[in-house]
Amino acid sequence: MEIRQTRFPGILIIKPGIFTDQRGYFFESYNEQAFRESGITYTFIQDNQSRSSYGTIRGLHYQLDPFSQTKLLRVIEGQILDVAVDLRKNSPTFGGHLSIELSGENQLQILIPRGFAHGFAVLGQTATVLYKCDYPYHPEAERGIHYADPDLKIDWKLPGAEIIVSRRDAAFPGFRDAEMNFNFET
């Protein structure tokens, strides 16, 4: 398993060791001991899965502290552009975003710590996304940022006319008006 740091403190890209032969492939998508030995000490308590069609954007979602969540995300089938926006005040990357293509083919995973808004766009015909969370869902703490906020300058890699979003996601405020209560800790 290869674990890479990113320019965003706390976000990690994980590439599992994949074993292939004439039958197909095998890999460990999660191994608590290997993660702990690499310094990843989160305790994941819940798995969530979604399936979405081409053009769908889900996000940008987060939960306020003390209900925020760390997520470990991967794509089982299909292809997405995964996006994390840093909401941690005093972070060197506050207001910046990281984008990475995840797919059932590349098998990359992304670890997004608490203090980030998260979303993804489906780039293939469909995508099945699986993610682990280290804290339960609390609807009263859920917030979001509008996916097309011009201040964030996120290129979702989709033609505007083909984007599909929920009413709830389309009604989220922009970054400047979003409620957030995260602080960067070194």
Task: Report the catalytic residues.
Answer: 61, 131
Q: How far apart are CA 64 and CA 80, in angstroms?
A: 25
Mapped onto helix, strand or coil, the DSSP state of residue 78 is strand
147: nearest Cα among 163, 129, 126, 127: 163
**Number of helical (H) and strand (E) elements in the chain, helices listed first:** 2, 13
DSSP string, 86-145: E-EET-TTTT-EEEEEEETTT--EEEE-TTEEEEEEEEEEEEEEEEEESS---GGGEEE-
The reply to whether omega before 111 is within 30° of 0 (cis) is no
Residue 167 host element (H or E):
helix 167-170
For 181, phi then psi, to 5°, come to -140, 40
